[in-house]
Structure 1
Amino acid sequence: MSGHIVVVGAGIAGLATAVALQQSGRDVVVLDDRDGTSTGYAITLWPNALAACDALGVGDDVRDASARAEAGMMRWRDGRILREPPNGQLTRAIGEPVAVTERNQLLAILAGRLTPGTVRYGARVARVRDGLHGTSVELADGEALTASAVIGADGIGSLAAQYLNGPLAFRYSGYTAWRGIADMAVSEELAGITLGPGIEFGHLPMPGGRTYWFAGERSLEAQRASNGEIDYLARKFSDWADPIPDLLKQSDESSVLRGDIFDRGRLRRITGGRVVLVGDAAHPMRPHLGQGGCQSLEDAAVLGVAVSERSSLPSAFREYARQRKSRTRTVVNRSRHIGHATYARPAVLSGLLTRASARIPAAVFWRQLRGISGYDACDITVRP
């Protein structure tokens, strides 16, 4: 085991990173405390994520397993159109349509690229240490593993991030979000987001004639609907523009996830010695740009290039951190700014800011979108 790189976490970031490392010729083991099952919501993959998937050798498989969305409609709650991109404009601006697939499907595709036996489920990591004689990972059952390096892909509360930075600081954003899947198809022309003062609802096509939807509103922390989330949302959005009420009617309670949105304080470092962070462990972000999973895939692709080009893992990790610092900070900050505007107080201010954002000149809007989603993580130069 001492020659392996240990990846902590078998989510998108962890599996994608393991794929990239195996492609670079490294031995890898992935540890995850779950039983191998995962929550079955959908994920949007923008062209920057698809470019990273291409670098990982799974791009075609991901596209084949996805529905494609091109519209990007922006409406007010009563159905009035705030922004309607011309037909084909989204693809012309960013290179290809957005792919929408089930998260479990993406995980299965990534796992299928790994050497059998790479992933160990039911292995909860309790401690990470980096010493003179190697990096060690201690499991909750007392087993200790020594590895050539540790990749922290263990999410927003990452143990690896705590090892590198000490206690992590979290702050509730003031709003909560839902994600669900409706067993019905909607017109592709309506794909996009519908807004109200301090509240939003979006929907995108999925394979199999289904629809992925998401919603958010200001809320006290840790609230739950007494009669179920679907019942609550159906009443909340009952008078909103079609097809939103019907989407909720065609959604099962078991398909709905509710989660409060938190910000985490900026880390002092994402690498140190033979420990490095990827995905939410390195840079958790609010969901408004749909870039959380996309940035995880970018991380994996960039880290794979750095490890391939550098003989020393600590040197490769430092190069990866240098490459990702500005990029991820931009996406994190942009996502946070959108959240501030969408859920500003009082609600009337939120409505004004939302409507104002729809008046951004088209050239500026597309340039900003292209800067986020038209990025190719593998079009980088590794410094000698």
Structure 2
Amino acid sequence: MNYIILHDMVRYSGYCAWRGVFDFSGKESSDTMTSIRRAYPELGNCLYFDLAYKTHAVLYELPRSRLNWLWYINGPEPELAGNSVTMEATDAMVGRMRNEAERVWCPELARLVRETAAPFVNVIYDADPLPRLSWTGGRVVLVGDAAHPTTPHGLRSTNMSVMDACTLGQCLANWNSEPTPARALAEYEAVRLPVVAEQVLHARQLGRLKQGLPVDGEAEDGFDVTTAKAEVLQLRQTTMPFFDGAPAAVGGDFPLVGSTR
């Protein structure tokens, strides 16, 4: 169903992400980790976003002594083999990427990138919001990434999927006396569709801003981090629609318009 509904609707974002996981087990006192913690003193308590001209990077700590980094790079859509959005990088690609990191990023981050084994590439896609989330009289329903493919910049993809499942379960419970799930799925759609539509479009805009790509109504050159005013650079994640919570059909208190329950 994901393929049937979304195959022709998935949209290339205009950029890919180099990704890597640096394992520092037993290396906490190494020069690399000492310098990275000096440059990013709140690692383990937050996510760091580094902005440069038409690019940005993300750095954060994972459990079990690992650091995760992503570096978004603008470019034409690459050819992918099969349905995976992950590309294996050749040695030549990795070498060029590491050399470019030395030019773009601070020495501490560039060193981390250079010392990370087996970096790889994710091609970034999303899709315009769907007009609905259920079909065929309530016999088909979409949840999670199948319902709302999104770029990662809103940090909500997993949360969106969890909320889909929670809301769908509550809607089914609300309407469990019905002979078919049609009304439950209609309620699920009424609750979730406005939320996920706004979040997908906000994540898209945030990614394009950070990558210096034009957004609707802006100049062709797009956002330039090197000339932007300080207040414009405060690209807070809390601007995400429904960041502090989204409506849910809990306890039957979100009835459909016109419902006779």
**One of 168, 182, 199 as aligned partner of 2:8:** 168
Quickly say closer, same or farther: Cα 1:361–1:266, change in 2 above 3 A. Answer: closer
Identify if the C-alpha distance between structure 1 residues 181 and 330 changes in structure 2 by more than 3 Å, giving closer, same or farther. Answer: same
Distance (whole Å) between structure 1 residues aligned to residue 19 and residue 247 of structure 2: 28
AA at the equivalent of 1:277: L
Partners of 2:184 and 2:120 in 1: how far apart?
37
Q: How many residues align?
A: 219
Asked whether the 8 Å contact 1:160–1:275 carries over to 2, the reply is no
Q: Hey, what does 2:182 align to over in structure 1?
A: 314
* TM-score (ref. length: structure 2): 0.71
Residue pairs, 1:1-384, within 5 angstroms: 158-159=2-3, 161=5, 168-184=8-24, 186-187=36-37, 188-189=41-42, 191-222=47-78, 226-227=90-91, 229-239=93-103, 240-253=105-118, 256-272=119-135, 273-311=138-176, 312=178, 313-345=181-213, 349-352=222-225, 355-356=228-229, 358-360=230-232, 365=236, 368=239, 371-375=241-245, 378=248, 380=250, 381-383=253-255, 384=261
Please report how far the alpha carbon of residue 291 of structure 1 lies from its aligned counterpart in structure 2 after TM superposition.
1.5
Q: What CA deviation, in whole Å up to 9, does each residue of 1:310-362 have, x standing for no partner?
A: 11422111111110111111111111111222223589743248844x51597
Aligned 8 A contact 2:52 2:226 in 1 = no
Aligned CA distance change for structure 1 residues 354 and 189 (closer, same or farther; 3 Å): farther
Whichever structure has more strand as a proportion of its residues is: 1
Check whether the contact 2:213–2:221 (CA below 8 A) recurs between aligned residues: yes
Amino acid of the residue matched to residue 224 of structure 2?
G
- Alignment partners' CA distance in 1, 2:233 and 2:99: 35
Q: Match for 2:8: what amino acid?
A: L
> Equivalents in 2 of 1:206, 1:368: separation in Å?
25
- Name stretches of at least 5 consecutive residues in structure 1 with no aligned partner: 1-151, 153-157
- Report if aligned partners of 2:171, 2:249 keep a CA contact under 8 Å in 1: no
Q: Judging changes above 3 Å, is the alpha-carbon distance between structure 1 residues 269 and 228 closer, same or farther for their aligned structure 2 residues?
A: farther
After alignment, is 333-342 or 178-187 more displaced? 178-187
| Identity of matched residues, % | 24
What is the CA-CA distance between 1:194 and the residue it aligns to?
0.7
Task: Kindly indicate whether the alpha-carbon contact (under 8 Å) linking 2:16 and 2:122 is maintained by their aligned counterparts in 1.
Answer: yes
1:173–1:263 CA contact under 8 A, matched in 2: yes
Unaligned 5+ segments in structure 2 are 25-32, 80-86, 215-219, 256-260
Aligned CA distance change for structure 1 residues 317 and 213 (closer, same or farther; 3 Å): same
Counterparts of 2:102 and 2:233, CA distance in 1: 32
Higher relative contact order (CA 8 A, sep 6+): 1
Q: 1:326 to 1:333 in 2, by over 3 A?
A: same
1:128-165 Cα distance to aligned partner (Å, 9 max, x none): xxxxxxxxxxxxxxxxxxxxxxxx6xxxxx14636xxx
Does the Cα contact within 8 Å between 1:206 and 1:212 map onto a contact in 2? yes
1:350 counterpart SS class: coil
Which amino acid in 1 is paired with 2:131?
R
